[in-house]
């Protein structure tokens, strides 16, 4: 609307000029506070008690369940490409392997304990995280020990879960990550690690804000951990529970967690940003879960978008929200897609 001289309008309003700042690919990458790197990624591995197994999981694209004899050959090329960390999940398939107490979880000869030792020995640079839960090992498929009425017995569950975590740590896990959501398990695990004299060398990563919902379906197919009755709504958080998630995060930090995790990721970016604010002095992790991963694959297959572009857009969204550690089934592909 100015009618003044040309020089005045040129030197006038510059506040709308943004394009120059992201005109070059490198300048575009500089707009991100944090850039995705290989060291931020943790790759989930499903390890069964059938030593030679290598089975594709139908609902979880490109992901396999493997026996211990197939682990090294699978990891070798990935480590060469820069894989830094894995998270292990045990999958007992043998008849009679499951019982009410989840006894197989810390079987010293079971697949998880054996693969911790194997991976530590064969890949000394790899950081080994082990998921700690009972649902893969219990006959009822819930994440703890049950009372007669079917509800979780918090006290005996915490006792058992902390024993399992200690066993994994003693077998050589760099990090134990309880995903069970029983109250007080972080404190119980930390105390057992201290008592055993290994608290100084083990990272305790809490699945602090883990929401219940429909995004864990492919994982439960892979791990055979669908509950035989009921659901997990009385221990995993309700979708709307932002305040509850903040309390769970605060609590787990107070109980001695070294890293707090939010899960799922894309649907809970506000929670990731809350976790970063509450845990501003610690790393925040996010689990981009099986259902999120499967959804992206399904949409890419349907022609909705390009898989790689969406993998980056989603993962960078999780980073932007505040996570700097991401558990992702895309990890093998990111090792190819990322230059460093």
Q: Is 54 left (phi over 0), alpha (psi -120 to 50) or beta?
A: beta
The answer to whether residue 263 is catalytic is yes
Which two tokens mark 52? Answer: 């030679």
Q: Are strands 203-210 and 259-263 parallel, antiparallel or unpaired?
A: parallel
Smallest distance, ligand PBG to C-beta of residue 290, A: 3
Catalytic residue chosen out of the listed positions 70, 190, 192, 210: 210
Closest CA to 282 of 194, 165, 170, 186: 186
Q: What are the strands, taking DSSP E only, across 229-292? A: 259-263, 284-288
Smallest distance, Zn ion to C-beta of residue 207, A: 9
* Partner whose binding site includes residue 68, from ligand PBG, Zn ion, none (CB under 5 to 8 Å by kind): none
**Which positions lie near Zn ion, rule CB under 5 A?**
133, 135, 143
Three-class secondary structure of residue 66 per DSSP: strand
Smallest distance, ligand PBG to C-beta of residue 310, A: 17
The answer to whether 178 and 188 are in contact (CB under 8 A) is no
CA 157 to chain CA centroid, Å, is: 21
Catalytic residue chosen out of the listed positions 263, 276, 280, 301: 263
User: For the purposes of burial, counting CB atoms within 10 Å of the CB of 19, is it exposed (0-12), middle (13-18) or buried (19 or more)?
Assistant: exposed
Closest CA to 215 of 268, 254, 173: 268
User: Between residue 122 and residue 141, which ones bind ligand PBG under the rule CB under 6 A?
Assistant: 131, 133, 135
* Partner whose binding site includes residue 320, from ligand PBG, Zn ion, none (CB under 5 to 8 Å by kind): none
* Partner whose binding site includes residue 290, from ligand PBG, Zn ion, none (CB under 5 to 8 Å by kind): ligand PBG
Residue whose CB is less far from ligand PBG, 199 or 269: 269
Q: Is 325 in the site for ligand PBG (CB under 6 A)?
A: no
* Partner whose binding site includes residue 266, from ligand PBG, Zn ion, none (CB under 5 to 8 Å by kind): none
Smallest distance, ligand PBG to C-beta of residue 21, A: 37
User: What's the rounded Cα separation, in Å, for the pair 129 and 171?
Assistant: 12
Question: Pattern of binders to ligand PBG over 197-216, x per CB under 6 A?
Answer: -------------------x
The answer to whether residue 276 is catalytic is no
Which two tokens mark 326? Answer: 């991401």
Q: Which parts of this chain interact with ligand PBG (CB under 6 A)?
A: 131, 133, 135, 143, 179-180, 216, 219-220, 225, 289-290
Give the catalytic positions in this structure. Answer: 210, 263
């Amino acid at each position: 609307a100015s009618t003044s001289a040309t020089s005045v309008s040129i030197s006038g309003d510059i506040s709308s000029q943004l394009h120059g700042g992201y005109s070059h690919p490198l300048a575009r990458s500089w707009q991100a506070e944090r850039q995705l790197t290989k060291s931020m990624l943790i790759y989930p591995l499903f390890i069964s008690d059938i030593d030679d197994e290598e089975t594709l999981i139908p609902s979880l694209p490109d992901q396999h369940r493997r026996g211990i004899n197939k682990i090294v050959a699978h990891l070798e090329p990935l480590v060469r490409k820069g894989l830094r960390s894995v998270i292990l999940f045990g999958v007992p398939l043998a008849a009679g392997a499951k019982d009410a107490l989840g006894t197989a979880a810390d079987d010293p000869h079971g697949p998880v304990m054996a693969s911790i030792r194997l991976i530590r020995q064969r890949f000394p640079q790899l950081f080994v995280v082990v998921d700690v839960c009972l649902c893969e090992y219990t006959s009822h498929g819930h994440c703890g020990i049950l009372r007669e009425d079917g509800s979780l017995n918090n006290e005996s569950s915490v006792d058992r879960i902390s024993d399992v975590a200690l066993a994994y740590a003693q077998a050589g896990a760099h990090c134990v990550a309880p995903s069970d959501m029983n109250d007080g398990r972080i404190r119980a695990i930390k105390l057992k690690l201290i008592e055993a004299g290994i608290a100084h060398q083990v990272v305790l990563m809490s699945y602090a804000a883990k929401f219940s919902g429909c995004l864990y379906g492919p994982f439960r197919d892979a791990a055979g951990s669908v509950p035989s009755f009921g659901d997990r709504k009385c221990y995993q958080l309700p979708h709307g529970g932002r305040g509850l998630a903040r309390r769970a995060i605060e609590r787990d930090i107070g109980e001695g967690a070294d890293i707090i995790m939010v899960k799922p990721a894309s649907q809970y970016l506000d929670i990731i940003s809350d976790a970063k604010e509450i845990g501003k002095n610690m790393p925040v992790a996010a689990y981009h879960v099986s259902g999120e991963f499967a959804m992206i694959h399904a949409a890419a297959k349907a022609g909705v978008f390009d898989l790689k572009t969406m993998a980056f857009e989603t993962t960078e969204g999780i980073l932007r929200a505040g996570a700097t550690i991401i558990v992702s089934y895309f990890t093998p592909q990111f090792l190819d897609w990322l230059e460093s």
